[in-house]
Amino acid sequence: MFQYQPNDQNYWNICCHKATKCTQDINTQVAIIGGGIAGLSAAQAFAAKGKKVTLLEQYYCGSGATGKAGGFITPNAELSFLDISHKKDINAAKNIWNFINNGLEKIRSNISNNGFSCNYKNDPGLFVATCNRTLKNLLKEYEHIQKLGYSSDFFDAQQIQSIIGTKDYYGGMTYNNSFGINTHAYCQELKKYLITQDVDIFEESPVLSIDNHTLTTPHAKITADFIIVCVDKFLPKFNILPEKIHHIQNFVIISEQLTDQIIQKIFPQKSYMVWDSHLIYNYFRPTHDNRIILGGGDLISIYSTEEKHNYIRGYKKLANYFSKTFPQIKINFEYQWPGQIGISKDLGPIAGPDKKYPHIYYITGSAGLSIATALATYSQEHLLENRRDLDKYFDPYRKYFINGITQKLLGKKLSFALNNFMVQQTLGCF
Ligand SMILES: Cc1cc2nc3c(=O)[nH]c(=O)nc-3n(C[C@H](O)[C@H](O)[C@H](O)COP(=O)(O)OP(=O)(O)OC[C@H]3O[C@@H](n4cnc5c(N)ncnc54)[C@H](O)[C@@H]3O)c2cc1C
């Protein structure tokens, strides 16, 4: 059991979320820990099968990485199809890619079927090359995506300048099924919807320990047939898979509201959600209210232990990136926030049952909203319908380049950095 501490949260903000705390012991069929996109989607999947579901969130739904995300709903979050196919055989890569795209479509259908108000914006994802080597690989990625039946466009160095108002990129390719959302609003909308489906959602209810079928919170105990642990980077706090999950930090800055003319200077034809191929990459997109949201990390803080708030270095790096990319455009950035995600050593998600207690299922290190959603459905299919075909790819106990004693000698941060570096060789530019 980990030590309960006061929440590192502003109480007045928390009040706005009208949390219902768990104050009484409960017996339920499925208990879910974590109210991010993985936990909420898992709750939806199990509730749709008629199970009684109870979700416990330590702060409020969306308070973790999900509610801080840039809102790019794309199949390629941390890993491209090419990255996946380098690690797996081509058929496995195809299955995984289709799986991720199912997660993406699940988010879209949730929004349209239930009328979620979350600033849905139908912009394609655009992956841009920052060196010639990457451009060649982007062409391969484009060809693969097309063969798989997904719509994509490829732009060479000349064409890209008419798409994005900068001379800095060597070309790019699109994922045309992508779209943008306000992820905090999506979590809140999904929470409201789940309550109508009879799911019990308790916020400000941290789970302090998991013991076989029982969860302990500060005020109550919950017993459940199945437990789905969707706490992402917080998993090592339970001393579960502590050597397999680490976190990386990212920052997001968001501009003042811009005129249509400025937006058009950045996107001369139509808007896109852009990310580049730097190893620590940058990403930007226009929001529904004509702001530019821009995100990325920096080498010094990327593996830092605590979230760095109001991080001037991060702000400068992102703002400089924008002014260097678009020197003719002067804009002010009004807000900045940090966020951390859980990652595995090979940047693939970790999802699967506990070795000793197969009724406890982990979803962590998804590093992407679409795949987190897909894994949530998969957890239900694994536990209730015996689905096993993708188990081995997400296996919580799989081995990496650096493990065991080597990891102990190198330390966790360096081991993760080296492992992550090795899998990002395909499309990264240094
Ligand atoms: C700045 C930033 C930008 C990003 N942008 C994008 C993007 O544009 N597109 C994309 O696809 N991905 C993006 N990501 C990644 C994406 O947000 C994450 O991969 C995804 O949200 C993970 O979802 P999750 O539900 O697993 O984790 P989380 O959203 O972190 O949810 C875990 C939840 O568990 C709760 N919890 C933890 N411990 C306990 C406990 N003991 N008891 C109860 N509850 C607990 C936490 O409070 C949290 O709410 C971004 C991430 C960051 C940080």
* 363-382 pLDDT, tens digit each: 999 999 999 999 999 999 99
Tokens of 297: 């990390």
Nearest CA to ligand 1 atom 41: 207
Residues paired with residue 221 on neighbouring β-strands, in sequence order: 216
Tokens of 128: 């841009």
Q: Is 175 exposed, middle or buried (0-12, 13-18, 19+ CB in 10 A)?
A: buried
- Residue linked to tokens 């990459």: 281
Please check whether residue 276 lies inside any domain of the structure: no
Q: For residue 30, what is the enclosing H or E element?
A: strand 26-33
How many angstroms separate the CA atoms of 366 and 394, rounded? 10
DSSP-derived pairing of the beta strands 53-56 and 26-33: parallel
Q: What is the pTM of this model?
A: 0.94
Note whether 82 and 56 are within 8 A (CB): no
220: domain CATH number is: 3.50.50.60
Note whether 335 and 293 are within 8 A (CB): no
Q: How far is the CA of 203 from the centre of ligand 1 (A)?
A: 15
Please check whether residue 253 lies inside any domain of the structure: no
Tell me, using a 6 A CB cutoff, whether residue 252 lines ligand 1: yes
Tell me, using a 6 A CB cutoff, whether residue 206 lines ligand 1: yes
Please check whether residue 188 lies inside any domain of the structure: yes
Query: According to the per-residue pLDDT averaged within each range, which of 85-89, 113-117, 417-421 is highest?
Result: 113-117
Q: Give the pLDDT score at 2.
A: 55
| Residue from 246, 272, 341 whose mutation best tests the ligand 1 pocket (most atoms within 8 A of CB) | 341
Tell me, using a 6 A CB cutoff, whether residue 77 lines ligand 1: yes
Please check whether residue 138 lies inside any domain of the structure: no
* 52-101 pLDDT, tens digit each: 999 999 999 999 999 999 999 999 988 899 988 887 788 999 999 999 99
How many domains is the chain built from? Answer: 1
Q: Which atom of ligand 1 is nearest to the CA of 367?
A: 19
Q: Give the pLDDT score at 301.
A: 82
Domain span at 380: 10-123+177-242+344-398
Count helices and strands in the chain by DSSP H and E runs: 14, 18
How many angstroms separate the CA atoms of 398 and 407, rounded? 15
* pLDDT band at residue 133 using 50, 70 and 90 as cut-offs: confident
* 317-362 pLDDT, tens digit each: 999 999 999 999 999 999 999 999 999 988 899 999 999 999 999 9
C-alpha closest to that of 81 among 164, 186, 187, 152: 152
Which 3 state secondary structure label does DSSP give 247? Answer: strand
In the predicted structure, residue 427 carries a pLDDT above the cut 70:
no
* pLDDT band at residue 7 using 50, 70 and 90 as cut-offs: low
Q: Which atom of ligand 1 is nearest to the CA of 66?
A: 21
Tell me, using a 6 A CB cutoff, whether residue 349 lines ligand 1: no
Please check whether residue 413 lies inside any domain of the structure: no
Residues in the chain: 430
Q: Which atom of ligand 1 is nearest to the CA of 369?
A: 11
Please check whether residue 254 lies inside any domain of the structure: no
Q: Give the pLDDT score at 15.
A: 67
* pLDDT band at residue 11 using 50, 70 and 90 as cut-offs: low
Q: Which atom of ligand 1 is nearest to the CA of 249?
A: 53
C-alpha closest to that of 31 among 21, 19, 48, 43: 43
Please check whether residue 57 lies inside any domain of the structure: yes
Please check whether residue 284 lies inside any domain of the structure: no
What are the C-alpha distances in Å from 229 to residues 225, 234, 255, 359, 401? Answer: 13, 10, 35, 11, 26
* pLDDT band at residue 430 using 50, 70 and 90 as cut-offs: very low
Note whether 145 and 39 are within 8 A (CB): no
Nearest CA to ligand 1 atom 4: 69
